[in-house]
Amino acid sequence: MIVFYFSGTGNSRFVAETFCRAADAACCSIEDSANFNALIAAHETVGFCYPIYGSCVARPMREFVRAHTAALEGKRFVILCTQLIFSGDGAHALCAELPGGEKNVIYAEHVCMPNNVCNFPLFRVTNGAENARKLRAAERKTIRAAQDVLRGVVRRRGFNPASVLMGKSQSAFWPAVERTAAGDVKIDADCIRCGKCVRLCPTKNLTMGENGVEQAGRCAVCYRCVNACPKQAITVMFHRKPKKQYQGVSGKELT
């Protein structure tokens, strides 16, 4: 088994790596330089781990699956999603991209992780020891999922009609938000042109131009740049300067 993950600020990476350690599976970021078709061909079961945005699959993961549809034919699938509180059918949403739809999905699970949307006042940002309880719960759930898969247990979170219906209360609106946000990155006067956001951007949306950071309309709303900017000078979707940035998962929270 191999698991491919996309992670904006580290939450999905934590889940993917935890699952792969427990399942003795290979783990690979979709941002790696790799022969993905060859990796897929070498494994009977393929897993996907990604953050859920508005009950929808993060765009980089959607594009990854579409680019490798032919290689994924005939494979069994495991889907792991990270969410803040509730997504309804975030795992089921990937089935629209998978060859064969949901029929080859043997396991799907949603895992709650800390908030990384650092400039939206409704959700508080927490770091370090404040996240220990949530991360331990996420670790336990993820390890249990790995053990279930190894034992042949089939569980498909978010696939029942009620979950799908509840998910649509968010996913009906997200595509329009995603399209608008794709070109809605703002950089304020505090920018020091360090280039960190350019280096970190997973979609190569940001470049350094003569007048500072420029965008190409490909923002995936992963919040990596917003949380990493040393001057809190960059925002997307919500243009409120973050007072506190999400630092991701270091592993020390669990010790």
Q: What is the pLDDT of residues 3-56, one digit of tens each?
A: 999 999 999 999 999 999 999 999 999 999 999 999 999 999 999 999 999 999
CB 116 within 8 A of CB 227: yes
CA distance 37 to 75: 12
Residue 87 confidence (pLDDT): 84
Query: What's the pLDDT tens digit per position in 88-146?
Result: 899 999 999 999 999 999 999 999 999 999 999 889 999 999 999 999 999 999 999 99
CB 49 within 8 A of CB 80: yes
Computed on alpha carbons and rounded to an integer, the radius of gyration of the chain in Å comes to 18
* Degrees to nearest 5, angle at CA 50 with 155 and 177: 115
Residue 159, burial from CB neighbour count under 10 angstroms (0-12, 13-18, 19+) = middle
Q: Exposure pattern of 213-230 as b/e (b: 16+ CB <10 Å)?
A: bebeebbbbbbbbbbbbe
Query: What's the pLDDT tens digit per position in 170-200?
Result: 889 999 999 999 999 999 999 999 999 999 9
Whole-model pTM: value is 0.95
Residue 24, burial from CB neighbour count under 10 angstroms (0-12, 13-18, 19+) = exposed
HSE (side-chain half, CA atoms, 13 Å) at 226: 27
Strand 212-215 versus strand 206-209 pairing type: antiparallel
Residue 108 confidence (pLDDT): 97
Query: What's the pLDDT tens digit per position in 193-244?
Result: 999 999 999 999 999 999 899 999 999 999 999 999 999 999 999 999 999 9
Which domains are assigned to the chain? 2-172 (3.40.50.360), 183-236 (3.30.70.20)
CA distance 52 to 5: 12
Q: Which residues on neighbouring strands pair with residue 52, listed in sequence order?
A: 57
Residue 231, burial from CB neighbour count under 10 angstroms (0-12, 13-18, 19+) = middle
Residue with tokens 């470049």: 207
> What does the mean pLDDT of the chain come to?
95
CB 185 within 8 A of CB 222: no
Residue 226 confidence (pLDDT): 97
